[in-house]
């Protein structure tokens, strides 16, 4: 299918609820962190419902632990499915990582060894998740700080193989490519060039912090110029891809973050034709047979 395009979005954070509800700022869509709304009721869900009434949404999770050797957490998936029914998102995503083992949650996005055995393990689990949820999902590439010595392939090949065999899509985090390229000494353009275009459904953009020679994915700064350059490069390769900025710390005013999103809009307008940037209507990824 041709790639649906939602336009340019932002991560919905509690600091922005009131501004968004009161002013209905021009943003094409919002991405929510799914777990923040896996609560019984109250303000989080009330605000979510109000904002959803006015904006398209996608759901982004941090706790599926798709790469874990623990059994899939069916209680979590049940709650996720309930939230999907409430939000009716255009799509849902989580990370190509593991977070939990022995039922202990690290609350971190921990990296996987890039080899055939891991691919087999994860493909099987994504298929199960897509069956349970009744829809295709997106998997996101990580920022990482270690390489396992039993990794056998570049990360982009690992991501491609999983997306192809599980028949899922890729949420390509441009900042994470930049961070991991620095930390593992590869060319970020090789990563972008290596990713299967037809599997890419969404981009993430974010800021990061330096810790000596390493870069840490902190989401606490503006998007830096080299990441904007890589974003432009990715747009040339993939065409229009729904794009959003994640900000999780050192949160700026909504107006400042919205202003930062105009940089993405400007780069896209300079790179692609207006027709390519037409926003798609009624996008929902297909159910799983």
For residues 175 and 191, what is the distance between their CA atoms, to the nearest angstrom?
12
Looking at residues 202 to 221 of the shown chain, list those that interact with other proteins (rule: CB under 8 A): 211-214, 216
Q: How distant, in Å, are the alpha carbons of 129, 175, 199, 228, 266 from that of 271?
A: 36, 19, 20, 12, 9
Min separation Cβ 99 and other proteins, Å: 8
Among 110, 251, 267, 277, binds other proteins (CB under 8 A): 110
Min CB(94)–other proteins separation in Å:
11
At residue 39, the 3 state secondary structure works out as: coil
C-alpha closest to that of 233 among 280, 274, 183, 178: 178
Residues 5-64 that bind other proteins (CB under 8 A): 35-36, 38-46, 63
* Token pair of 151 as six digits: 């990794």
Whole-angstrom distance, CA of residue 9 vs CA of residue 271: 18
Judged by CB under 8 A, does residue 255 bind other proteins? no
Residue whose tokens read 């929902």: 284
Beta strands 29-33 and 8-11 are: parallel
Q: What angle do CA 121, 124, 130 make, to 5 degrees?
A: 135
269 touching other proteins, by CB under 8 A? no
Q: Compute the distance between CA of residue 263 and CA of residue 8 in angstroms, rounded to an integer.
A: 10
Torsions phi, psi for 174 (to 5 deg): -70, -40
- The reply to whether 112 sits near other proteins by the rule CB under 8 A is yes
Binding mask 114-133 for other proteins (x = CB under 8 A): ---xx--x------------
Contact 122, 154 (CB under 8 A): no
Which of the ranges 82-90, 141-149, 163-171, 191-199 carries the binding residues for other proteins, by CB under 8 A?
141-149
Binding test (CB under 8 A) with other proteins, winner from 55, 76, 186, 233: 76
Name the residue among 114, 203, 127 with its Cα closest to residue 163: 127
- 101 interacts with other proteins by CB under 8 A: yes
Judged by CB, which is closer to other proteins: 87, or 264? 87
Binding of residue 145 to other proteins (CB under 8 A): yes
Beta carbon of residue 197, minimum distance to other proteins (angstroms, whole number): 29
Q: Take residue 167 and report the two structure tokens written for it.
A: 């028949």
Does 274 engage in binding with other proteins (CB under 8 A)?
Answer: no
Report if residue 275 touches other proteins, rule: CB under 8 A.
Answer: no
185 binds other proteins, rule: CB under 8 A = yes
Shortest Cβ 241–other proteins spacing (Å): 28
136 counts as binding other proteins under rule CB under 8 A: no
Please report, as ranges, the residues that interact with other proteins according to CB under 8 A.
Answer: 35-36, 38-46, 63, 68-69, 73, 76, 98, 100-108, 110, 112-113, 117-118, 121, 145-150, 184-185, 211-214, 216
């Amino acid at each position: 299918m041709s790639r649906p395009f939602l336009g340019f979005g932002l991560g919905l954070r509690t600091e922005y609820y009131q501004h968004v509800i009161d002013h209905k700022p021009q943003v094409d869509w919002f991405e929510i962190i799914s777990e923040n709304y896996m609560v019984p009721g109250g303000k989080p869900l009330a605000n979510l419902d109000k904002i959803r009434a006015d904006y398209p949404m996608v759901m982004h999770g941090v706790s599926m632990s798709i790469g874990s050797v623990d059994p899939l957490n069916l209680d979590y998936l049940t709650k996720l499915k309930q939230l999907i029914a409430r939000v009716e998102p255009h799509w849902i995503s989580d990370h190509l990582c593991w977070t939990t083992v022995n039922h202990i949650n690290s609350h971190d996005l921990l990296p996987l060894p890039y080899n055939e055995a891991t691919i087999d393990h994860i493909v099987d689990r994504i298929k199960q998740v897509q069956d349970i949820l009744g829809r295709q999902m997106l998997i996101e590439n990580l920022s990482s700080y270690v390489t396992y010595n039993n990794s056998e392939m570049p990360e982009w090949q690992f991501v491609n193989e999983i997306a192809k065999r599980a028949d899922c899509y890729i949420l390509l985090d441009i900042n994470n490519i930049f961070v991991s390229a620095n930390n593992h000494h590869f060319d970020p353009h090789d990563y972008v060039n290596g990713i299967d275009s037809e599997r890419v459904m969404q981009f993430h953009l974010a800021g990061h912090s330096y810790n000596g020679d390493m870069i840490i994915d902190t989401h606490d700064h503006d998007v830096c110029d080299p990441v904007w350059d890589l974003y432009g490069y990715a747009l040339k390769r993939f065409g229009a891809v729904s794009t959003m900025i994640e900000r999780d710390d050192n949160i700026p005013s909504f107006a400042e973050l919205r202003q930062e999103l105009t940089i993405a809009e400007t780069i896209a307008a300079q790179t692609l034709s207006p027709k390519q940037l037409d926003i798609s209507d009624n996008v929902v990824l297909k159910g799983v047979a």
